[in-house]
């Protein structure tokens, strides 16, 4: 019997939505869910890239109402649970209730890593609805393992059943992930599980996930073909294949996942995330991956380089929700160049 058992969550239809500029259609969602469900992936996340109610001028409009997509996903899934992401303030309990009515069984409440307290009422509401609850501590690299564990404790006490170390910038390297996961495991003492969500900016998404599992994480995120914000996520099919080689039990069908990635998702992709100058910069200086497309748009509009914008965003320490400040940085860089 394997020493390690892991539950995979596939977030192609949520984090991958960033790379697709939130243009997933209902037909595409149905096909991807069917393929992931056939591969026995236990949890599939479907929402706008920035979570419930993310469709907006600031974050980018969805092509199709996410509630329609959530319902379609729930209709297609035979064994998988459908998860939704929510950022408190952007999404509210009203949207959470509607997502639940449409068939969502899991909610992942995401806050900046120092702001866990804003998730408390959302966990209470989700538990009252009977949903599985997950906490997402974004940009987890920004604080020490000890400080992160204290934030995880706030989430667990509010009713969160699994707290994630989230490498939103793809900045972590091996022990960065393991030390944070260990600190959370020590703090939570079984009151909640610990998960890890990796990105590929420095090409460590899968490696960090292995370190996370060995440090005690029992839930790991990925996306098919690594489709996701910034340089993309840990690819689900690679995680599954690597875990199989390392005797980490996932219960998924690796060949079916490779089929899903290659034959089902690949033809839908309009922009494949890559490790380019801008996304490597995000990993290097620790900038939120969802900022990439905003920076590219501002770069074009103000005639400055996206990697320069992102380097400055890193210096200023902006966090998710401060997307509008990217324009400010671009204008400032333009003025410096004159
Ligand atoms: C809302 C973000 O895109 C959540 C996430 O996937 C991350 O921080 O990484
Ligand atoms: Mn992500």
pLDDT at 3: 94
Q: Whose CA is nearest to atom 2 of ligand 1?
A: 50
For the chain, the first-to-last Cα distance in angstroms comes to: 65
From 110, 171, 200, 233, the mutation candidate for ligand 1 (largest count of ligand atoms within 8 A of CB) is: 110
Q: Is 18 tagged catalytic?
A: yes
Atom of ligand 1 nearest to the CA of 168: 9
Q: What's the CA-to-centroid distance between 292 and ligand 1, angstroms?
A: 12
Sign of CA dihedral 248, 16, 182, 284: positive
**Around Cβ 55, how many Cβ atoms within 10 Å?**
18
233 lines ligand 1 (CB under 6 A): no
Give residues whose Cβ lies within 5 Å of ion ligand 2: 15
Q: Is 199 annotated as a binding residue?
A: yes
Task: Report the nearest atom of ligand 1 relative to the CA of 54.
Answer: 1
Nearest Cα residue to 66 out of 5, 25, 113, 6: 25
**Does residue 15's CB lie within 6 angstroms of at least one atom of ligand 1?**
yes
With a 6 Å cutoff on the Cβ, whether 168 touches ligand 1 is: yes
**What pLDDT, on a 0 to 100 scale, did the predictor assign at position 155?**
98
Query: Residue 211: enclosing H or E segment and its boundaries?
Result: helix 205-214
Q: Is 138 in the pocket of ligand 1 (CB under 6 A)?
A: yes
User: Is there a contact between 272 and 19 (Cβ–Cβ < 8 Å)?
Assistant: yes
Q: What is the pLDDT of residue 338?
A: 80
Domains of the chain: 4-268 (3.20.20.70), 277-337 (1.10.8.60)
Give me the interface pTM, i.e. the ipTM.
Answer: 0.99
pLDDT score, position 205: 98
pTM: 0.98
State whether the beta carbon of 208 lies less than 6 angstroms from ligand 1.
Answer: no
The ligand 1 atom nearest the CA atom of 15: 6
Where are the extended beta strands (E) located within the chain?
4-5, 7-13, 43-46, 81-86, 106-112, 132-138, 162-166, 193-197, 219-222, 248-249
Tens of pLDDT along the chain (338 residues) come to 789 999 999 999 999 999 999 999 999 999 999 999 999 999 999 999 999 999 998 899 999 999 999 999 999 999 999 999 999 999 999 999 999 999 999 999 999 999 999 999 999 999 999 999 999 999 999 999 999 999 999 999 999 999 999 999 999 999 999 999 999 999 999 999 999 999 999 999 999 999 999 999 999 999 999 999 999 999 999 999 999 999 999 999 999 999 999 999 999 999 999 999 999 999 999 999 999 999 999 999 999 999 999 999 999 999 999 999 999 999 999 999 88
Q: How far is the CA of 166 from the centre of ligand 1 (A)?
A: 8
197 labelled as ligand-binding? yes
Q: 209, 180 in Cβ contact below 8 A?
A: no
């Amino acid at each position: 019997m394997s020493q390690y058992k892991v539950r995979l969550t596939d977030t192609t239809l949520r984090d991958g939505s960033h790379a697709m500029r939130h243009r997933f259609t209902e037909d595409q969602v149905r096909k991807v869910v069917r393929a992931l469900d056939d591969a026995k992936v236990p949890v599939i996340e479907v929402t706008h890239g920035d979570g419930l109610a993310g469709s907006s001028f600031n974050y980018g409009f969805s092509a199709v109402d996410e509630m329609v997509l959530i319902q379609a996903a729930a209709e297609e899934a035979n064994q998988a649970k459908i998860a939704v992401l929510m950022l408190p303030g952007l999404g509210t309990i009203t949207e959470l209730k509607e997502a639940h009515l449409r068939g969502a069984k899991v909610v992942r409440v995401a806050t900046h890593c120092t702001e866990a307290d804003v998730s408390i009422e959302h966990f209470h509401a989700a538990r009252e609805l009977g949903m599985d609850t997950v906490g997402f501590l974004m940009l987890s690299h920004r604080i020490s393992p000890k400080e992160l564990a204290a934030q995880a404790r706030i989430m667990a006490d509010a009713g969160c059943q699994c707290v994630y170390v989230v490498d939103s910038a793809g900045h972590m390297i091996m022990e960065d992930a393991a030390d944070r996961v260990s600190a959370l495991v020590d703090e939570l003492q079984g009151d909640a599980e610990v998960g890890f969500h990796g990105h590929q900016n420095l090409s460590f998404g899968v490696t960090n996930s292995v370190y996370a599992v060995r440090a005690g994480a029992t839930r790991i995120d990925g996306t098919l073909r690594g489709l996701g914000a910034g340089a993309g996520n840990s690819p689900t099919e690679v995680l599954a294949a690597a875990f199989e080689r390392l005797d980490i039990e996932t219960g998924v069908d690796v060949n079916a996942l490779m089929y899903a990635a290659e034959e089902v998702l690949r033809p839908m992709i309009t922009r494949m995330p890559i490790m380019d100058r801008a996304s490597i910069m995000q990993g290097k200086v620790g900038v939120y991956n969802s900022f990439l497309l905003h920076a590219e748009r501002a770069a074009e509009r103000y005639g400055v380089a996206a990697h320069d914008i992102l380097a400055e965003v890193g210096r200023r320490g902006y966090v998710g929700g401060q997307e509008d400040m990217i324009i400010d940085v671009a204008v400032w860089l333009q003025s410096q160049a004159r």
